[in-house]
Structure 1
Amino acid sequence: MIRLRQLEALRAVMSTGSVTAAADVLGISQPAVSRLIASLEKSMAMPLFERHRGRLHPTHEAKFLSEEVERAISNLEHISRLSEDIRNQKAGHLRIACLPGFATSLMPKVIAEFLKEREDVTISIQTRSSVRVREWIAAQQYDIGVADEFEGHTAIQHETVNIRTECVLSPLHPLAAQKVIRPEDLHNMPMIIQDQENRFHHRLKRTFEAAGAELNARVEVRQFATACLLAMNDVGAAVVSSIDAAEYAGRGLIVRQFKPELPFTLDLLYPKYHPRSLLLQDFISHFKERLSPFIM
């Protein structure tokens, strides 16, 4: 059985030209280097050096082997460095599936920050509807999914996060000066709301009904980002996630507290039968930290 230390001794002697210098390189004694060379020759059943006047001279066989030995040790060193990077969450690949709106708001910032000190980490991100994200996670095709209104699946583990919502308006809107906006304030005023396929649409509608206010759905959209842009252009008011509201607040959008509190449910999905890597666990922690200012 050939041992790595034997090959390291061979490389050191070949590259330095002497046992003394090889011992310095390896940080061991000269006799230890000689023993490693002798044991390697015994393992290979052939001489690797000729000994003349206390010096070692490589045989033709040793010269022939040296290139492969160098390649083998380099590969092992690479594996060692890579394993250390993986252990320290500085190498690997993550597959993320998420809602389209989320991919244009918080997620790019989360990924950019996460990759900043991880040069050997790669990420693939795919955006689709919540239904498709759930299908991908159930099929174990992605490491983490960001969806909404998760109803449960035997092949999926999940965490539910309630995101705070806020009312967004144009500076020209009649309610722009109010600090808190309620459904009765928006009675019969033009509203931009999510389409009827999304449960948040129905949750908002019930909130208006409970307050005895008329919900005037002037425009229905699929993404909160679209609602923010329309509100900025004075099409109407909108109740959106605080994540999207923060994204557009610095661009002239007026953001006001909405009462009563109406959470937007965000679900973090994980494939149940796919172990979470150390890298994924680190990403989840970073992601949750970035979400914390928006959680109810």
Structure 2
Amino acid sequence: MNRLRQLEAFRAVIMAGGVTSAANMLNISQPAVSRLIASLEKALAIPLFERRQGRLYPTSEAEFLFTEVDRAITNLDHISKLAADIRNQKAGHLRIACLPGFATSLLPRVVAEFLVDRPDVTMSIQTRSSARVREWIAAQQYDIGIADEFEGHNAVHHEALNIRTVCALSSRHPLARQSVITAKDLDGLPMIVQDRQNRFYHAVKAAFDNAGAVLNQRVEVRQFATACIMAEREVGIAIVSSIDAAEYIGHGLVSRPFEPQLPFRLDILYPKYHPRSLLMQEFIENFQRSLKPFILPR
């Protein structure tokens, strides 16, 4: 630390043009600046200043040294600022892996709001299947994963959330006049459903069977966003995540509560053995707040 103070004094004297101005710049006394300069000359065994009529004039050696000293101190100042930004969650890089549908619904808005006053924060967002997201998180290639149907992994910590689902349909459909839609109301009507390998499809099928209604599967899709677009165009009716439905309301699509309520499980994944940065913790808090309107009470 003493060597740093010596170099700061050396730099200040050259930049300010004298000991008095350098002392004001560093907020220390003139004798303190003189002592720091003298101790630096002794340590380096190089004459840095000529003393003429009470003033210090840099030697050729000092002028040559100044460029490197100035660069080093500037870099240290940058590191100090960067550390402060990291401490205040204003700098860093986050890696997010998520389902394709989620990258076109709530997530872009959450990321955009998070980055508004964080110009030095960067992010990478990659979309893949839940199985691949789980693999990436387990391998610590990403900081946060958004998936469904997570079945567990010893290198992954997860938080399961039950998301409210709704019936999505065209505003022109006769059922849009109802405040609540049941499986019986949808008996035999064309439906847009998730693919049959998905657990949510089987939950929908069970609800229809229990109501004695026929599930008329007109189109199978993987993403709720696809179902919403098709429902708006009157291809059929869909039971979707309320997160996805919210993105399309007002564009010819309406949503109505569906009974019985069928929660859609969303899993937030984190690498179990990778410490969470302050920036990551701040983003998680923002992300969780954005999900609150869509989560079913426990």
TM-score (norm 2): 0.97
In the TM superposition, what is the alpha-carbon distance from 1:203 to its structure 2 partner?
A: 1.1
In the TM superposition, what is the alpha-carbon distance from 1:59 to its structure 2 partner?
A: 1.6
The residue type equivalent to 2:3 in the other structure is R
The residue type equivalent to 1:110 in the other structure is V
| Match in the other structure for 2:279 | 279
Q: Could you tell me how far apart the structure 2 residues matched to 1:214 and 1:43 are?
A: 90
| Match in the other structure for 1:91 | 91
| Match in the other structure for 2:138 | 138
| Match in the other structure for 1:150 | 150
Q: Secondary structure at the match of 2:255?
A: strand
Q: How does 1:36-185 map to 2 (within 5 A)?
A: 36-185=36-185
Aligned residues: 296
TM-score (norm 1): 0.98
Q: Could you tell me how far apart the structure 2 residues matched to 1:172 and 1:62 are?
A: 81
**Does the 8 A contact of 1:136 with 1:142 survive in 2?**
yes
In the TM superposition, what is the alpha-carbon distance from 1:2 to its structure 2 partner?
A: 6.0
CA displacement 1:27-83 (0-9 Å, x = unmatched) = 111001011111111221222112122111112211110000000000000000000
**Does the 8 A contact of 1:50 with 1:56 survive in 2?**
yes
**Does the 8 A contact of 1:98 with 1:128 survive in 2?**
yes
**Does the 8 A contact of 1:2 with 1:43 survive in 2?**
no
Q: Could you tell me how far apart the structure 2 residues matched to 1:40 and 1:163 are?
A: 66
Q: Secondary structure at the match of 1:291?
A: helix
Q: Could you tell me how far apart the structure 2 residues matched to 1:167 and 1:59 are?
A: 81
The residue type equivalent to 2:52 in the other structure is H
In the TM superposition, what is the alpha-carbon distance from 1:26 to its structure 2 partner?
A: 0.7
Q: Could you tell me how far apart the structure 2 residues matched to 1:185 and 1:42 are?
A: 92
| Match in the other structure for 2:244 | 244
| Match in the other structure for 2:210 | 210
Percent sequence identity over aligned pairs:
70
Q: Secondary structure at the match of 1:100?
A: coil
Q: Could you tell me how far apart the structure 2 residues matched to 1:47 and 1:2 are?
A: 19
Q: Could you tell me how far apart the structure 2 residues matched to 1:241 and 1:292 are?
A: 13
Q: Secondary structure at the match of 2:213?
A: coil
Question: Pairwise CA RMSD of aligned residues?
Answer: 1.1
**Does the 8 A contact of 1:2 with 1:40 survive in 2?**
no
The residue type equivalent to 2:136 in the other structure is W
The residue type equivalent to 2:72 in the other structure is A
Q: Secondary structure at the match of 2:147?
A: strand
Instruction: Give every structure 1 segment of 4 or more consecutive aligned residues whose post-TM-superposition deviation is greater than 6 Å.
Output: none
CA displacement 1:87-134 (0-9 Å, x = unmatched) = 111111111100000001111101100100000000010001111111
Q: Could you tell me how far apart the structure 2 residues matched to 1:262 and 1:42 are?
A: 79
In the TM superposition, what is the alpha-carbon distance from 1:201 to its structure 2 partner?
A: 0.5
